[in-house]
Amino acid sequence: MPTWRIPPFLLVLSMALVACGSGLDPELVATAEEATSSKVTLVVGEEGVADDLGQQATGEAATGEALVVGDVGDETSTVHGEGAENTDAGAEEESGSDADADAGSDADADTGAAPEAETASGAGEGAKAVSKTPSAGSAGSGVPLVIYDTDMGPDIDDALALAMLHSYQKLGKIELAAVTVSRNSVDGARFTDALNTFYGRPDIPIGINRNNPPYYDDRVFYPALANKWPNDVAQKPIEDGYKLQRRVLAEARGSGRSVLLIQTGFSGNVSQLLDSPGDGISPMSGSELVRETVPLFSIMAGSIGLGIAEFNIEKEIGPARNVFAKWPGPLAMSPFELGNSITYPYWAIRDKLTWVSRHPVREAYEFNDLGWHVDAPPFYNMRSWDLTSVIEAVEPGADYFLTSTTGKVQVDPTGRTSFQPGQGQHYVLDRANQYTAQQRQRVVDRMIELVSMRP
């Protein structure tokens, strides 16, 4: 666990602000003594105290156990996404904090039960986990840019994840530079553009992956929602996703900015990026651009220890194998079992987005009664697969998740993933079945805080 050094005056100040509802100037920033490089900065702005002190700390690299890959039997052979069977997610936990002062009443949050996957030590007790330093400035100046690569819908975790990214930008932690849709769907791009427009950023460029076939749900989910909200991305040709990714990376390299790449869907766009040669966008190959500009690739995909071909990988096995084999830098993998064990509660959608009469995230959340969700239908709690990858990308130093030592993730020809500790720059958000109720609730509270934030 990280060590946090909090000077006494900061504790007194934070307690006074929280207790008294301070009316200090919104620009006030109370920091620890610069001479001692304190780990904590307390920020007071329009949202009040930005976070509790623990979430603002950026401690040292975590120490954790390594993974041993193993199968656990047929009863847990669950696949992420469409057509999957529900696993046991029965444990209910009570939500603690009121994340947004402008939002509605609190209720009970169902955070689910972790699947019983094997995650024993594999590299010796006390093995050092990957160094988890703040992303900003890792490959340049300023806050990091973000490319969000998503298979948007019909599961709502993609839209929730995009909402979180807009809130992170409001908090000054990132700049959302592009969204690339890993489905071959113009209407998917339209719905993504509608979300960006709602959050006040209608000009964020969007790309799509034209190399995969449309899926059945695209014909219903996307048009039904995209037609309800302002969007204009389809009024001109939509760029290929991997070319848009190349463009963002090339421009970032030219300006000395770093780029966080977050993938929460199929691997086609990123695979094409890695294999792309120099072109009119940049004389550098995609792999070279990644190596120079991307300090962390955060991906929701695969499963460790369940012996399954997880949905995001199973839909495009070849590109997924290519991405994990060729990625040239640090990679954080959030596996199926982690998001499966932490659910985003429906009450937070129902009660905390009431500051506007119509909200696209709420309408998308309630559009589909999907049978594999907890308490479905109609008011289900959504498994937080994609949201975990967003948090790990933007706040890797906040230790929301247990992590493995570094090593290498591999994808076999059937789409099953394994992790070998040792040489390599990959790490896994692992040991989902070892989280305490308090650890899960801390993650859920952060998700609710970000999703519920006003644009």
End-to-end CA distance of the chain: 33
Name 426's bridge partners: 331, 407
pLDDT number for residue 365: 83
Digit-coded pLDDT (tens) for 387-410: 999 999 999 989 999 999 999 999
Residue 126 one-letter amino acid:
G
Look at residues 254, 280, 263 and name the one whose alpha carbon lies nearest to residue 147: 263
Residues 6+ apart with CB under 8 A from 328: 287, 290, 291
Q: Which DSSP symbol is given to 236? A: S
What domains, with CATH codes, occur in the chain? 8-56 (no CATH), 74-452 (3.90.245.10)
Digit-coded pLDDT (tens) for 318-376: 999 999 999 999 999 999 999 999 999 989 998 999 899 999 998 888 776 555 566 65
CA-CA distance, 54 to 346, in Å (whole number)?
A: 26
Helix (H, G, I), strand (E, B) or coil at 238: coil
Average pLDDT over residues 65-87: 31
The string of DSSP codes covering 253-268 is HHHT--EEEEEES-SH
Neighbours of 21 (CB within 10 A): 8
Phi, psi of 175 (to 5 degrees): -130, 115
E strands, 231-346, where? Answer: 239-240, 259-264, 296-300, 331-334, 343-344
pTM for this one?
Answer: 0.72
Rg of the chain, C-alpha, whole Å: 21
Q: Which of 133-147, 153-167, 362-376, 384-398 has the lowest mean pLDDT?
A: 133-147
CA-CA distance, 307 to 117, in Å (whole number)?
A: 10
pLDDT above 90: residue 180: yes
Per the CB < 8 A criterion, the answer to whether 404 and 65 are in contact is: yes
pLDDT number for residue 190: 92
Neighbours of 312 (CB within 10 A): 26
E strands, 7-162, where? Answer: 29-31, 41-45, 48-49, 93-94, 108-109, 145-150
pLDDT above 60: residue 9: no
List Cα–Cα distances, 170 to 45, 165, 175, 393, in angstroms: 11, 9, 9, 16
